[in-house]
Structure 1
Amino acid sequence: MHMSLNKTLIVFAMSCGVLTSGSAWSADYPNKAIRMIVPYSAGGGADNAARIIAKTLGDTLKQPIVIENKPGASGSIGATQVARAPADGYTLLYDASSFSINPVLRKLPYDPLKDFIAVSKVVSSPYLMVVPTNSAYDSVKSYVDAAKASPGKLTFASYGIGSPVHIVGELLKQETGIDIVHVPYKGGAPALVDVMGGVVDTYFANAASAMSYIRGEKLKALATTAAKRSSDLPDVATMTEQGVKMDVSEWNGIFAPAGTPEPVISKLSEAIGTALKDPATIRQLNNLGMQVEGSSPEAFKSFIANELTRWDAVAKKNNIRLD
């Protein structure tokens, strides 16, 4: 009895020591620079937004946030690196919509829900259905009517098979029953050039990349894919307003490796929320055509789960698979 009590006390003391040690370690976080991996090329929309947020977030946490670009395979190469990183809060992933599309299209060495903790949704940006300024199409209906009259003749561009804008085009086909041809490019820039030149009929551009061309009258926006009209383009109706059920936006968010201690996640979440309230940060992100979001880890995890379910259904219905 006495021996058993001693063992119990020893175990209790050890557990208290572990908890105290863990709590002290968490309270000390962060005490060095944090790596934030952006799994896309430098200079793109996600990279530009990440650098704006990293500066303010670093100021909030009082440690530098160092951006590292690890592009390839629609973001899955960089995501894989973070999934395998130590779960200590010093390696984070800044990803975009491809995070919830890749798993339904290709085999990956990670599970998006099990191998990551969704820390916070950060920004969103609607897609704009754009056509050349001299295009005969002046509404979604006129495009859909033309596509129905000539099945397999009209085209839509994307920046790659399985990219978010490819999937949005497939969603348009699914919701309207039209037969249009997908023309994949190796990037958004060449796709936009060919849309402006009339080589392809339309493209779902994110607002950040298309806004300057629309203002310069080199592109014409037929619709926004978001639930509400853009404050930057109040005269451009939503897809839903034009009879096509669609509520899709490009999004960016921050993730940590699974197993990262809860106090660290909590501190990161709070710091991100603070950073996203900074007026200068909001202004810079708005100038990129992005709307500030911010969310709790629980809400962001639920959002990711819903996105995975939605895109899985679209991929299966349209028989899209990359491997």
Structure 2
Amino acid sequence: MSTRRSILGAALAAAALLSGHAAADTAYPQGPSTMIVPFPAGGPTDVLARIVSQQLAETWKHPVIVDYKPGASTMLGTAAVAKAAPDGYTIGVVNPAYVINPSLQKKLPYKNEDLAAVTQLIRVPLAIAANPQAPFDTLEQMIEYAKRHPDAVTFASPGTGGTSHLAGALLARQAGVELTHIPYKGSAPAHTDVIGGRVMVMIDPIFSLMPHIQSGRLKMLATTGTQREPAYPNYATVAEKYPGFAVQAFIGLVVPAGTPAPIIDKIQRDAAAALALPAVKQRVEGLGMAIVASRPAEFEAQIKAETAQWAQVIREAKIELQD
């Protein structure tokens, strides 16, 4: 008798738990939500955020307001998310700065543990391209040239401590060569100097470099993904020469830690459904982004792995911490 009561009690408890999760899921949202973008309006991150927020608003029948909080290498906006109520009504947009800043910044106004992963929306492979007059035409030739001419190979990036800079530092470490980093304030001036021959090489998102490659103003050396990009199958990856090398930018969503799991799951599911819409998929891929729409646990694992990887690169490359 007691055994039957125990089984019945356990079943009722499980049913209550499941119904509670379902209620939390179906009841959310009941009003407007805010999506915080830690960048100014107009860039690729903003474009994707507006696409996703518009689709979520249509699905939820409530507004999703995009709130721009640029500054301090994305820390200003991300800190605002970390300090918000954990109720699902504040969603943060993050990019690789989220996994780099813990090791690069002297003072971080939050801990990544203050936030919960929702989904990696997209990935963006990087490309390594060179001035057409550079004395090498492939990645392998560039490395051999760097070995014969220490410190002669210069590479530009949009700024110190960004994904492009760290990709170059990681490549130098794995190849056992010295690559001289030339930081710029953004991609445009860096492109200008590489095209003009003042710097040999540029590392940047492939969608940013492809117009220059297609016009012949730059030549492609390699891409940095785990495999060749379907849109550019003729371009080799760094991993083909150095197995295990993988650097890709990403854009994802986070919420304050403590947000109920059913709400996190709902945001992820609805964002994934939005990205799967044919018109949205075509638009996003037209921006040079590859859709991922990972589950929360998958994104959390990625965050931890990349945070550890960049901490090691920053330490071993002796990259100066930023104020």
Q: TM-score, normalised by structure 1?
A: 0.88
Q: Does 1:68 align with 2:86?
A: no
Deviates more, 1:53-62 or 1:256-265: 53-62
**8 Å contact from structure 1 (residues 175, 244) kept in 2:** no
Q: Does 1:110 align with 2:106?
A: no
2:264 partner letter:
I
> Displacement of 1:74 after TM fit?
2.0
Matches within 5 A, 1:307-322: 307-322=306-321
Equivalents in 2 of 1:41, 1:86: separation in Å? 24
SS in 1 for 2:276: coil
Query: Equivalent residue for 1:232?
Result: 231
Q: Does 1:301 align with 2:305?
A: no
Query: Equivalent residue for 1:180?
Result: 179
Equivalents in 2 of 1:300, 1:165: separation in Å? 21
Matches within 5 A, 1:252-267: 252-267=251-266
SS in 1 for 2:321: coil
> Displacement of 1:21 after TM fit?
9.8
Query: Equivalent residue for 1:94?
Result: 93
Query: Equivalent residue for 1:283?
Result: 282
1:257 partner letter:
P
2:313 partner letter:
V
Equivalents in 1 of 2:144, 2:229: separation in Å? 25
> Displacement of 1:33 after TM fit?
2.2
Equivalents in 2 of 1:316, 1:252: separation in Å? 25
Equivalents in 1 of 2:44, 2:165: separation in Å? 17
- Identity score, percent: 37
Alpha carbons of structure 1 residues 56 and 250: separation in structure 2 relative to 1, 3 Å: same
**8 Å contact from structure 1 (residues 147, 179) kept in 2:** yes
**8 Å contact from structure 2 (residues 99, 307) kept in 1:** yes
> Displacement of 1:23 after TM fit?
7.6
Q: TM-score, normalised by structure 2?
A: 0.88
**8 Å contact from structure 1 (residues 124, 251) kept in 2:** yes
- Per-residue CA shift, 1:76-117, capped at 9, x if unaligned? 1111111111222111111111110111111312111x1001
> Displacement of 1:220 after TM fit?
1.4
Equivalents in 2 of 1:305, 1:243: separation in Å? 23
**8 Å contact from structure 2 (residues 21, 262) kept in 1:** no
SS in 1 for 2:270: helix
> Displacement of 1:22 after TM fit?
9.7
**8 Å contact from structure 1 (residues 172, 244) kept in 2:** no
Q: List structure 1 segments (4+ residues) > 6 angstroms apart after TM superposition.
A: 19-23
Equivalents in 2 of 1:45, 1:175: separation in Å? 30
- Per-residue CA shift, 1:187-241, capped at 9, x if unaligned? 1121112111111111111022122222222221110000111122211101122
1:320 partner letter:
I
**8 Å contact from structure 2 (residues 174, 242) kept in 1:** no
Deviates more, 1:265-274 or 1:221-230: 265-274
Alpha carbons of structure 1 residues 214 and 58: separation in structure 2 relative to 1, 3 Å: farther
- Per-residue CA shift, 1:289-314, capped at 9, x if unaligned? 11000111111111111111111111
Equivalents in 2 of 1:168, 1:134: separation in Å? 23
2:109 partner letter:
P
Count how many residue pairs are aligned between Structure 1 and Structure 2: 305
Equivalents in 2 of 1:208, 1:47: separation in Å? 16
> Displacement of 1:167 after TM fit?
0.6
Matches within 5 A, 1:11-30: 27-30=26-29
Query: Equivalent residue for 1:268?
Result: 267
- Per-residue CA shift, 1:259-313, capped at 9, x if unaligned? 2122221211221121121111111111111100011111111111111111111
SS in 1 for 2:310: helix
Deviates more, 1:21-30 or 1:153-162: 21-30
Equivalents in 2 of 1:296, 1:233: separation in Å? 27
Alpha carbons of structure 1 residues 241 and 275: separation in structure 2 relative to 1, 3 Å: same
SS in 1 for 2:91: strand
Matches within 5 A, 1:126-165: 126-165=125-164
Structure 2, unaligned runs of 5 or more: 1-15
Equivalents in 2 of 1:174, 1:227: separation in Å? 18
SS in 2 for 1:255: strand
SS in 2 for 1:298: helix
Equivalents in 2 of 1:120, 1:156: separation in Å? 32
- Per-residue CA shift, 1:157-191, capped at 9, x if unaligned? 11111111111110011011111211111111211
> Displacement of 1:154 after TM fit?
1.8
Equivalents in 2 of 1:235, 1:251: separation in Å? 23
Structure 1, unaligned runs of 5 or more: 1-15
Aligned-residue Cα RMSD (Å) equals: 2.1
